[in-house]
A and B are shown apart, each in its own frame.
Chain A
Amino acid sequence: NAGVTQTPKFQVLKTGQSMTLQCAQDMNHNSMYWYRQDPGMGLRLIYYSASEGTTDKGEVPNGYNVSRLNKREFSLRLESAAPSQTSVYFCASTGAGSYNEQFFGPGTRLTVL
Chain B
Amino acid sequence: KQEVTQIPAALSVPEGENLVLNCSFTDSAIYNLQWFRQDPGKGLTSLLLIQSSQREQTSGRLNASLDKSSGRSTLYIAASQPGDSATYLCAPTRGGYNKLIFGAGTRLAVHP
Q: In the assembly, what is the distance between CA of A42 and CA of B44, in Å? A: 12
Please classify how large the interface on chain A is, using the bins under 10, 10 to 19, 20 to 34, 35 or more: 20 to 34
* Pairwise interchain contact A48-B99, C-beta atoms closer than 8 A: yes
Q: How many A-B residue pairs have CB under 8 A?
A: 67
Q: Which residue of A lies closest to B51 (CB)?
A: A99
Question: Is A31 an interface position by the 8 A CB rule?
Answer: yes
Q: In the complex, are the beta carbons of B99 and A33 less than 8 A apart?
A: yes
Chain B contacts to A: CB under 8 angstroms? 4, 31-32, 34, 36, 42-46, 49, 51, 89, 91, 93, 96-105
Q: Which interface residue of A31, A43, A94 has the most chain B CB atoms within 10 A?
A: A43
Please report the C-alpha to C-alpha distance between residue A33 and residue B104 in the assembled complex, in whole angstroms.
Answer: 19
| Partner-B contacts on A (CB < 8 A) | 31, 33, 35, 40-45, 48, 50, 56, 58, 90, 92, 94, 98-107
